[in-house]
Amino acid sequence: MENFDLGIIGGGPAGYTAALHAASLGQKVVLFEKENIGGVCLNKGCIPTKSILHASELFHKIQNCTDCGISAENISLDYPKIIERKNQTIEKLKKGIELALKNAKVTVVKAEAQLIDARTIKAENIEYNCEKVICATGSSPRLVKGLEFDHEFLLSSDDILNMDKLPQSILIIGSGAIGIEWARIMSNFGVETTVVELAPHLLPLADIEVSKRIERIFKTRKIKFYTETSVEKVDGKNIILSNGETLNPEKVLVAIGRVPNKVECINGVKYIGDVAGEIQLAHYAIKQALTEVKDIPFEKDLTPSVVYGAPEIAWVGKREQDLEVGTFTKSQLLISALGKAHCDNETEGFIKLLSQNGKIVGAHIISAEASSLLQQVIIAMQNNISADKLKEVCFAHPTYSEGIFEALFRL
């Protein structure tokens, strides 16, 4: 039996981050991964989706750039090539992580691992003794009775990444990040797209004004959607909704979230990443790993949420519906007020800041570069920097960032 300082089951963002940083401290580390290094994020989630999303946005923009004096004719779409590029991107990034693990002298075991106890891991009939064990075995698409994946008509978020051709029409069930992003992708490619959401508004975890703006954007993009609606029954290729309507899409994407993979909980083992059942985001998992291995704290309440596409959607902290009327100040700046937005032909969206006692407590942004804009606000929030102090910062012009600066003066 070989001895290690740290044993890690799962090679996703939580697992490989913990492995690399533990190794940097001189620890002897073994990492077990039964499928692919990089986990869901790299192989079945964030990275492949954004690769396809980028291609879809290019395709849409090329078709709609006459206002910029550019006219393109006979544009062709090679969807298998888009999937090929997606796969190449995954492989390139995966090899980068594998090389980093190798250089850090992390022992990587490509096999299914079993927890025997808080200090013993078994794989391929070999036992590994570890002073400490981290379990980061991830999550899987949520299964719902009546909407079981058949991988041909009823698709999971894993299935849709590997379609070799685009459908003529698609129904997306659920309007979280996965549902919104795939609705944008399919719409950009000219697929007739419909979204069904059980909650009163699309993107129900977002601030109410963000949700309403997304609904407006979907209407302008001719993405049909139903709210406060569920799928009552699947009858062959007919989808019967709770409102009595029947839809006949070519494909159905069931995008109603993910659930932690089942594991046997053992006292003394640390569970991080999606399997921990907390916030299912790669950056949250990475921060959990850093906290566990290097004792670097982070404020969980300031974990950013981002939905990609044009425009990006990003938020952090309190939503307006979370706050009692009269206890906060609100600032809202339309992105169309920014010169850079007009130059880029990206005028859709707004920056919304919420403050209490002179400090920002929530930020909600729909804009090009929203994910980057949000980080500026998070740094101020986490370091307890007041809105007045933030006004002293010089923001470059013309940028989207100066929208944050302008919004500060409206608090």
Per-residue model confidence as pLDDT tens for the chain (411 residues): 789 999 999 999 999 999 999 999 999 999 999 999 999 999 999 999 999 999 999 999 999 888 889 988 889 999 999 999 999 999 999 999 999 999 999 999 999 999 999 999 999 999 999 999 999 999 999 999 999 999 999 999 999 998 989 999 999 999 999 999 999 999 999 999 999 999 999 999 999 999 999 999 999 999 999 999 999 999 999 999 999 999 999 999 999 999 999 888 899 999 999 999 999 999 999 999 999 999 999 999 999 999 999 999 999 999 999 999 999 999 999 999 999 999 999 999 999 999 999 999 999 999 999 999 999 999 999 999 999 999 999 999 999 999 999 999 999
Query: What tokens were used for 299?
Result: 């404020």
Please check whether residues 13 and 132 belong to one and the same domain: yes
Please check whether residues 116 and 77 belong to one and the same domain: yes
Please check whether residues 332 and 345 belong to one and the same domain: yes
Q: Is residue 276 part of a domain?
A: yes
Dihedral in degrees, nearest 10, Cα atoms 396, 402, 406, 408: -100
Query: What tokens were used for 79?
Result: 């969807």
Give the residue ranges of DSSP H helices in 189-235: 208-220
Radius of gyration of the chain (CA): 23
- Domain containing residue 352: 304-408
Q: Is residue 299 part of a domain?
A: no
Q: Rounded distance, CA 168 to CA 225, Å?
A: 17
Partners of 29 in beta bridges: 6
* Cα angle: 45, vertex 46, 51; to 5 degrees: 105
Please check whether residues 186 and 252 belong to one and the same domain: yes
At which of 294, 319, 352 does a domain end?
Answer: 294
* Cα angle: 337, vertex 342, 343; to 5 degrees: 135
Q: Which position among 54, 60, 283, 397 bears the catalytic label? A: 397
| Structure letter (DSSP) for residue 83 | H
Please check whether residues 377 and 309 belong to one and the same domain: yes
Per residue in 174-208, pLDDT tens?
999 999 999 999 999 999 999 999 999 999 999 99
- Taking the whole predicted model, whether its pTM rises above 0.85 is answered as yes
Which residue in the block uniquely carries the two structure tokens 């004096």?
69
Q: Is residue 335 part of a domain?
A: yes
| Structure letter (DSSP) for residue 406 | H
Based on the residue annotation, tell me whether 151 is a catalytic residue of this protein: no
DSSP characters over 25-66? TT--EEEE-SS-TTHHHHHHSHHHHHHHHHHHHHHHHHHT-G
Three-state DSSP state, 76: coil
Please check whether residues 101 and 184 belong to one and the same domain: no
Query: What is the count of structural domains for the chain?
Result: 3
Per residue in 245-279, pLDDT tens?
999 999 999 999 999 998 888 999 999 999 999 99
Q: Is residue 114 part of a domain?
A: yes
Strands 107-109 and 29-32 turn out to be parallel
Q: 169 φ, ψ to 5°?
A: -150, 155
